[in-house]
Structures are given as structure tokens and as C-alpha cells.
Structure 1
């Protein structure tokens, strides 16, 4: 038996108990006649004491030679600690060691295994197995486990059945790029790793499973950001014989359950917001509604003077930053430079100070009087003491730029509180979006999303106006889940493929199996997928997902720990009948 107890459970009730512990040496302190070692495992830290009078001489000398991260086993008696540590669960006791076994020596780690470490991110990712020993990473992984268990508990209680779907599937042309896997047994042919189990969960509905879920790995070969990984995990769900409201009610319930069980937070309201309203009011389809700063459109009250910048703009729009009226010119100039960065792309910014006496001071006083600025304040809901920031230009670009500024200001003002949760549903997305490069429409979500029944006639005359029977759940400015009611009959699905530019032959080659299944009694069905990585990060009070993944990739999609991706042995390439032309 390597251990009788873990390093986090012993307390004063165990005094005089003989115990066996095992773990890693966190640190040691040697006073010559007495040594202390902090022994760490996943559950906590226990202090060991080696005394020249009470400890065997050989054991005492061995203890003095222990290095950081040595793996050891000790036996000894629990005794009361003279200098208690109220900050430790085991701070009332220590172990007077009688036997010490070194199970494995260790090199000096490349960074300190402490909550606040001296290791940079790339170094810690290279030695991720060591980084996991640190409390912040370890606790993030335990937190992820807790969330996953609560998901399974809730969905199982709602009669959902967890079903595994294949990882080696067929490549499809929609969505992000696939990761492809060559088949040795079928030379020249390839599997693809799934971007989602979309078609399989629909087939499970055809199969009568009724309520399906799966916590599943998905893969997308796309550009990376801090909150994206080439492989990620979804809580994937599908239900038969449902309408949109049934699905929204079910997953509001799941979200309420997680917030209550994980964070102790009760959430009553899940507001509904149309896609058009979200874009017009917040500049994006995943607004953070923990704070206001709603957009105020100013075309009618700003394009009647001689200010050519506004007059030439498709959209003039502003936001009121609360209690920012005392910002210095230096601070304002810094914000102007922030929006002019290439990542944002604005050409400039106009500002208006809302003074406490009801007057206004702006950067365009030459063109606008106090009555004009009063109207701007009304349109942006600005109050005395606020600052109005205004951008102008192409409507879509300007809304995106102002949305980024809104989030940046909220961060600087401390309005994005990690312990505050504001979920909402965004509904009525466009079914299709036009791609200028390819000159055709693409599915905004995927080609299996059902149009709103009342918009079906617009497919022929005005496809860009057709709304999807689709919905996203947004939490604190992040899309944490999305789904739709699916098409469940062959004729409508064939029509959708037609409007997406598929020939009948292309549609048959890619999705013939699904079209065939629809002919054997497909029920009305729909579903939703949560991004588990992102959901866990938000519940954990973080913006990025990396520390909630055991072995993440870096921003280049590389695993620097195992050095992947890597070259393949020429023998393997030959077996796969693949020839590489690196000049391409």
C-alpha cells in the first residue's frame, strides 16, 4: 500500500495515528538539527518533520538530500503542529516521519510549481505534465470534470441517452476546413475528422432515439485565437418531435442547473433578442448584456451640418461610456489610437463630454452647437458625467468597430464582472449569407437548418431575407451554444442544396445517405451544441479556454510538448501511396 491517506485529509482528529503518505516534494527547510518537507499530491499539502533526536539517523540524512519534485513515500505518526497554519487544511498537524522511501528522483523543474510561477506560457506548455501539478491548472481540470458530471446528471434525468458517434467520417464542403486522414486500406481515399456529429445525430433521430447527447471531440482546421483550438469539445444534443420553444426551455433548464450547482447563482430571465436587434444595438450577434452602452444611431441628428466625415458616412453611431466625462485628453487620445489599430480599423473617433452642468464639450464644436449635442446625448442615452464616443463609415464595419470599443471600455471600467452571469437567446438568424468571393450564398449555420416556415416563399425571390429556425445561447458576450430546428424531409433538403449552389449530383455524392434516411420516416427534430471548453472557462471566470484543457495547442496549432504536427516516416507515406511535393 503506497498510502493510507492523501495529503489533504489529515487533521487534529488523526493525532497519534500511524499513516503512510506518498507524493511530490513541494519544498524543504533544513535547520541542521531539524528538517521540514512539504509533501504535495492532488488533494493538498502535508508538512513532514524530521528530527535529529526522534528520527532514525539514516532517515534524517536521506531527508536532507531530497530535492524539489522528488516522488517519495513516508510512514510516521500524526502529531500536533507547534506553529499552526490556518491557511492550510492540514495546518494543525504534521507527520513525524519514521520511514522514508524515495520512489523517484527528479530533475530541478524548469519553473516553480507554485500558484504564481516564474514560467512563461510557452515553457509551461512544453512541460505541461509539470504545469498540471500547479493548483490553478489542476483546479481548472477538476472544475471541468465537475461541470461535465453535472451536464450528464441533468441530461440523463431528462431522459437523454449518451451515444457515441464515429470519428472517421466523410469530408463535407460546408463549414471550416476538415482535418483529413488517409486510408491505407483504400488507397487515394481519405476520412475526415468530424467538425461536429451533425448528420449522425440527425440519423439517430431517424432511428428513434428521441433524445441524444454526447460530450464529444470535434476538429476544425481553422485560424486560431485564444478561445479556439483545432480540437475542442461539444455538449452535443438532439431531440425529436420538438419545436424551437421545446429546445430553448430544455437548455435554459440545463444552464440554470449549471449556474446553480457550480456557481450557486440563480438566474431567472433568459431574454430573447433577434439577430437584427443584436447587430443594430450592440454591433455583434453575441452581446454582453451585463452592462448597457447600447448603440445610438445619429445619422438624422449629425448629417445636417458641414462636417464632411459624417455627411459621407453610411452610418454615424455612438455609445455613452458611463462616468467617463472626466477622462483626460491623453486618455482620450490613447482610445483614439486604440480604435485606429489595424485590428479595429477605424480612421478616427469623435467624442463629446457631458458636463455636470448640462453643457457639452466635443471634438467637433466647430460644426455642432449645444442643441445638436443634446440630441446626440438623447440618442445614446448619455447622462451628465458620461462621455459619448462616435464612429462613422460603412455600416457593417462601423458597427463591428464600435462593438470592439464597447467591450474594451467595459473591461477598463470593470463592468465585465466574472462572477455576474447574464444569459440570453439570440434568434431569427439569416438562413443564408452571400459570399462575394464565390459569388453565391452559403448557409450561415449549416445546410441542414430549417427556414422559418413563413419565409419559405422568399427562397425564390429574396433568399437573403429568409430567416433560419436557429438560435444561439449567449453568456457574458460569448456564444456558448447554438442550434436549430432541422430540415426533416427530402424535398426541402434538396431545395436547400439547390440554393446553396449544389448540383443534384454533388448533393447526392455528399449527402445521399441523409436524403435516403429522410425517406424512411424522419421525425421533426432539432438540437443544440454547447462548447464545453468555453462554457467551463466562463463559469470559471476566465476569457480563454486553454487552462481548462489538459493538453492544449498553442496559437499556431502546435503541441510543443510532443512536437506535433510532425513529419511522417517515408515508409508510412509509401504504404499510404502519398507523395509529398513540398515545392507546392
Structure 2
């Protein structure tokens, strides 16, 4: 049956239609008047076609971005007017009739073709117009293709796609929940899932061996460049009878194939097996648990060395150092010092290695002559090197060293170009002490298996216990977190006890898991790479909102639909809510 609006979409138009009558439809991208002859660039989802209007009265009442249908005769363009930038660049449609399908009633807030240059709040308010921009639209088409590939890949690997609930119970762990008041049960609330954590573990107890879904997750967190406030999507998967290494192999296969298929031309992608870096090693060598392996610089620890020197500000401190094979100008040193003080450092010591192997710099006089060979060996110093020193408490020294490493990598142009460099970071601490309350709590996922099991929980200092937890990091961006799950009830009860939750709290807050684990739970493990972050990296976008169809703003507002908004007193009464001042 013929379509009443169009015969073909604009990607199907080609020279075979020359001389034929044709009906097309789309939006008016541009109108050009060449004195007696006018042109419309017509755009639909699939392409652009030039339309020539020799009867200029056809343009009466036509505005840019109006949705129209055009009937006419397809003809060959004059050779000197060919447009090689578009597939239909050798042909044009001579318009005989134009029908307005969707009128423009007010002035456009911005030009669609340059919308990416417009202020973000305006773009988000009129996102439906912004999405007409070819680059923005291409991001959404790309997103769809990546998700389709992930679905097919997981299915091919034997995983079963299962949807888990959106309304669930609130959890005391992790980020803030979005809570949903119950109309039927006064004073009680549902929550939107921060992740399908409990449900996917329950699926393993149910005997579903390999589960996955493209899962929506909801967390009441502030926005960052790589984090969308409110909601995000992840490739959530879980496997029964699986070890950490089994999950690693699946993660490597899926991500390597996805990035190899969708990476920009000429990009290199880490091949399996990925480097595995312990959390302790990552914090020492990179100053971050999200190491960017494109940066060749490594951090070393010189704390013990400086305890033997006479420089008092470095004694009894954690001292980290970064060696670069470069001589910095006075201006570069000044800019680096300004950066260091800007992030809260008291200063930035350094030494330069001269051609004769001697040292020059403010730290030199504090290093005894007999120890100068030792620092040379410890840091691998060579003529032409500059070594920087960062001293503070251990956690601050690690953080500052990581920031200086990143800054040096950028300023000295050391970052590897056109590459996606993956690694696993594992062996995270199971517990940490809250700096304010001094109480011990879970570091990350409370459902992780502690290394050493029940014996470790009973005999070791909780702060020394590691968990079977792991992240996938790509180019300094955390793509995924995961863990071998704690499926043993005795171990779970003890782990929660150490974190300050008695068994009654465990039953109340995680009752489903607590009960299910009484009935033969299999060992299981999984992870959940972030879909939005994957696409952001693959598209080389600096802000995650560029690859989400309808993102919230950086202040967690839907500027287009006006959320969050007020509701009526009647709606509040129905869910037994009273708003306090």
C-alpha cells in the first residue's frame, strides 16, 4: 500500500529516479533564493535532498524547520553544481507541489545545524530540536547500534536477558535512593533500583545460570562530566559457578569486540588478557584506582629514602615521586607549581639531572652525598630527567601524586593518542574506617566475598581484609565494577556484623537474599559495564550528556519537561505525604 506522505526516504533517492514523479517528506533545513530560482535543502532521518523551486510562489508560508511533503520530478543536476558531500549530490527534485505537514508557529530558539555551539541549558530545553542536528542524531543512532551489538553478543555467549523490577525496596548502602511513596501502604515507600544487585543474585539462586540486561539504574547523585544525574544504563550480567577469572574473560571478550567494532578508524584497543592491577598498586603507581594507562609516567614511593635525609618537611611523611625525561623551562615550573598549589599542595619539590649526573634543584642540598647514588637507582634517573616530589599523609600524597602525574602527561604531551587502554583493578579493601565517626563500614559492595572467607573475618584486622571486587578501567574512566558474591550465609552475617549491622538488620533490609541463601545458593559473580560511559568514550565526547537522548542538566533538572515539579495537594494526600517548609 502506498504511503500518503512519501514514496521513499531520502537515503533511497538515487539517479534511477531521474525523470520520474516522486513524493518525499521531511524538514526544511535551509532555504536559498538565487533570484527567480529558489532551493530547499530537505532533511529526513536518513539524508538530505536538494529541491529546486522554479515557481517561487511555492515558497509562500514556508519556514525553516517546518515539516513538509513535496511532490515533483527528479532531475539531474548541472555538473558544476554537484555536491559530493551528500549521496544525492548529483540529483535534485523539481518541486511541483508542497504540503505543510507540521507548521512552525514561533521563532526558532537556535539554528539546528549549529546547535552544539549553543548554551547547554537552551539545548536541553529544546532537546527535540537539538536532536535534529546531524551530529547529535548520529550519537543516538550510534548508541542504538552499540546496544544492539551488546545484546546480540551476550545472547551468543549463552546469557539470558531477563528484566528485573523498577519498583523495589530501599537499601541502606551505596548512593542515595530515589524513593516512591506508596498509596496503598501508608508511610511506606518503594525505591528505584540503584542497580539490579539483589535481583540478579536471586536469579542465580533460582538456577538461571547466565543472566544479563541493559539495566536502568537510578541514583540521586550530583552530575559530573562522566556521570549523568538521576539515571544511567549498564550492561548488567551475572554467572553461576563462576570465579573472578571467569568474569574477567567475559568482560574482556565483550568490551574488546565492542570497542574494536565501534572505535574510530585507526584506534588501537587493548587485547585480552587485560593487565590486572591491585588497588594497592594502582594507588601507589598511578595515585588513582582509575589508572589511565595511556600515560607512561609511574609514581614511586621514596618515603624511606627521605627519612634518611635532612629535609624535615619530607621526614615521617609519605613521599611520592614522578620522574620525567624532560627539562622544564622556568615558565613550565611556575605553571606546574601554580597547578599544585591550586589543588591544595603546599609546594612541589624537584630535582633536575644534569649531563654529568649531578643534581640541580631546591631539594639537592638536603640529600647527603652518600645517598645520591641511591636515589639515582631507586628512581632510574638519567641525565636530562626531572623528578618531582609530593609529600603528605598517605591518602593525600597518593591523590596529589596522581593529579601531578595527569598534569605532567597532558603538559608534556605524553598521553598515547588514538587508543583505548583497558585494565582490571582488583583486590579492593573489604572495609574502611569512616573518618568522622571512626566506625568501620563497607568500602564498596557489601555483598562481595571477602578473601579468606569466614576465617579472615574472624582472625584478621578488618582493615587488612581484601574483597573479591574488581573494576574495569578504560583511559582513566571507570567503566564497570563487579565482584565475586558472598553466597554463604555465615560469612555474610559476620561481614555485616563487622560493618555494624546485626543479623536482624540484615534480615530486615536484605530479607530476600538472607532467606534465599538458606536454600542452596550457588557460587556466583558478575559485573556491570556502564553503557553510557562506553558510548561517551567511543564517540570521544567530553560530556556524557552528549550521548543520552533526553539527559537531565548538570543540576539534575529536566529543563524540557520541567522536572522535578510540584504536585497537587490531592496527589500528596493520596500517598500520605505532607511537605515540610
Contact 1:30–1:64 (CA<8 Å) still a contact in 2? no
Contact 2:453–2:491 (CA<8 Å) still a contact in 1? no
Contact 1:425–1:474 (CA<8 Å) still a contact in 2? yes
CA distance in 2, matches of 1:237, 1:291: 30
SS in 2 for 1:231: strand
CA distance in 1, matches of 2:100, 2:201: 55
Say yes or no: does 1:281 pair with 2:285: yes
SS in 2 for 1:457: helix
Q: Relative to structure 2, which stretch is displaced further, 431-440 or 120-129?
A: 431-440
Corresponding residue for residue 272 of structure 1: 276
Corresponding residue for residue 28 of structure 1: 31
Corresponding residue for residue 7 of structure 2: 4
Corresponding residue for residue 40 of structure 2: 37
Corresponding residue for residue 54 of structure 1: none
- 1:293 corresponds, among 294, 297, 305, to 297
Q: Map 1:137-536; keep pairs closer than 5 Å.
A: 137-229=136-228, 230-263=230-263, 265=268, 267-269=270-272, 270-311=274-315, 314-323=317-326, 325=327, 327-341=328-342, 344-355=343-354, 358=357, 360-368=359-367, 376=375, 378-381=377-380, 383-416=382-415, 419-453=418-452, 456-536=455-535
CA pair 126-361 structure 1, distance change in 2 beyond 3 A: farther
Displacement, 1:475? 0.9
Contact 1:25–1:69 (CA<8 Å) still a contact in 2? yes
CA pair 117-507 structure 1, distance change in 2 beyond 3 A: closer
Contact 1:111–1:117 (CA<8 Å) still a contact in 2? no
Corresponding residue for residue 559 of structure 1: 558
Displacement, 1:231? 0.9
1:293-347 residue CA offsets vs partner (Å, 9 max, x unmatched): 1002223444444433223x51121213454x2x332232122122222xx2211
Corresponding residue for residue 101 of structure 1: 99
Say yes or no: does 1:66 pair with 2:62: yes
Contact 1:458–1:465 (CA<8 Å) still a contact in 2? no
RMSD: 2.2
1:441-473 residue CA offsets vs partner (Å, 9 max, x unmatched): 222222211112368335443111111112111
TM-score, scaled relative to structure 2: 0.92
Aligned length: 570
SS in 1 for 2:522: coil
CA distance in 1, matches of 2:118, 2:557: 19
Q: Relative to structure 2, which stretch is displaced further, 152-161 or 6-15?
A: 6-15
Contact 2:218–2:231 (CA<8 Å) still a contact in 1? yes
CA pair 396-405 structure 1, distance change in 2 beyond 3 A: same
CA distance in 1, matches of 2:319, 2:500: 36
Contact 2:309–2:368 (CA<8 Å) still a contact in 1? no
Displacement, 1:266? 5.3
Contact 1:68–1:108 (CA<8 Å) still a contact in 2? no
CA distance in 1, matches of 2:379, 2:553: 41
Contact 2:429–2:465 (CA<8 Å) still a contact in 1? yes
CA pair 437-367 structure 1, distance change in 2 beyond 3 A: closer
CA pair 197-78 structure 1, distance change in 2 beyond 3 A: same
SS in 1 for 2:387: strand
CA distance in 1, matches of 2:413, 2:395: 27
SS in 2 for 1:530: coil
CA pair 171-116 structure 1, distance change in 2 beyond 3 A: closer
